[in-house]
A = this chain, B = another copy of it.
Amino acid sequence: MYYIGIDVGGTNIKAGLIKDNGEIVFRRTVPTGAAREGAAVAEEIGKIAAAVAVESGVPLSEIDSIGIGIPGACDEKNGTVLYTANIDFMKFPLREAVQKHIPLPVHLANDANCAALGEYVALPDPPSDMLFVTLGTGIGGGIIIGGKIYEGAYGIAGEVGHIRLCPEGRLCGCGRHGCWEMYASVTALVRDTREFIEKNPASALAASVEGDLSRASGKTSFVLAKEGDADAKKIVDTWISYVAEGITDLVNTFNPSLVLIGGAISREGETILSPVRDKVYRDMYKSYVPFPEIRAAKLGNDAGLIGAAFLGKK
């Protein structure tokens, strides 16, 4: 059996035909055109789903369902998108809109939850439950319980980027002060790096971007920290300690056996993972039970696509 997965981002809509074993056998990408009306974006999603089916040459009878990952909140039961930050999808009946183009069951879920499911199904020896945290523009979370995405009562469980790290801290887009993602997202790391460069124009960090703040990325401080620059190391260490703080909260709450850290920055691997483990294992509530494994996610950008596809998998 095959599954169509669609990962709707602010920039692109990625679609793929995925086999039972998680292999992506066919791909298509189109620009989201997020500034358009929701109906136009929905039509794009319907068309790309149909195109994947037709162009791949796989007969519709061999495609089980379509799963769509949305950067926002969904009501899977009613097939609607409740809300997204970047696309005009307020209480939008996306299932119905997509089924006008292709007559298959359509499943909807939050994109971070889809990524969690994608990473989960790719594990060689999956535990029953898993915690997935993705560090990017914000911080997304996905909770797998009993092999399934845990959606909560209304489909928005896992908004872990908005647990509060610092009282009276930085104002988050969600309206709360001091949210975890204001300190431990890649956006936060970039901001910390740029703020440092601005204040220290003679620093090695400033030289590394030739004084051009816009060139400072999530990698900038990591690169210089590895070369031994003390300023960069301090920025990286502080950021990593913020990452660990939130994970400790989640570990205390869920007591998972496995935590996966995703997002492009997780490619830094042990540079991040080793100090995160040290801090989480030091600070977590001790009850003489094993420490959770903390590893980097494996699938990278494809996790959301594969997870979305597998929403319909029994």
Q: Which residues of A contact B (CB under 8 A)?
A: 72-73, 82-83, 90-91, 127-129, 141, 143, 145, 150-160, 162-167, 174-176, 245, 248-250, 252-258, 282-290, 292
Contact = CB atoms under 8 A, between A and B. Distances in A.
A51 B234 CA distance: 63
Contacts of A150: 145
A154 B283 contact: no
9 contacts: A83-B287, A153-B256, A153-B257, A153-B258, A154-B289, A159-B255, A175-B286, A249-B249, A253-B253
A253 B288 contact: no
Copy total for this chain? 2
A167 B90 CA distance: 37
A47 to B, nearest CB: 27
B164 A167 contact: no
Given A145-B145, A175-B283, A255 B153 contact: yes
Given A145-B145, A285-B156, A245 B164 contact: yes
Closest 10 CB pairs of A and B: A152-B255, A154-B289, A153-B257, A73-B287, A157-B255, A163-B249, A159-B285, A83-B288, A162-B285, A159-B252
Contacts of A154: 255, 257, 287, 289-290
Contacts of A248: 164, 176
Nearest to A253: B160
Contacts of A165: 164, 167
A243 B256 CA distance: 25
Contacts of A289: 73, 82, 153-156
A294 to B, nearest CB: 13
Contacts of A245: 164, 167
A181 to B, nearest CB: 11
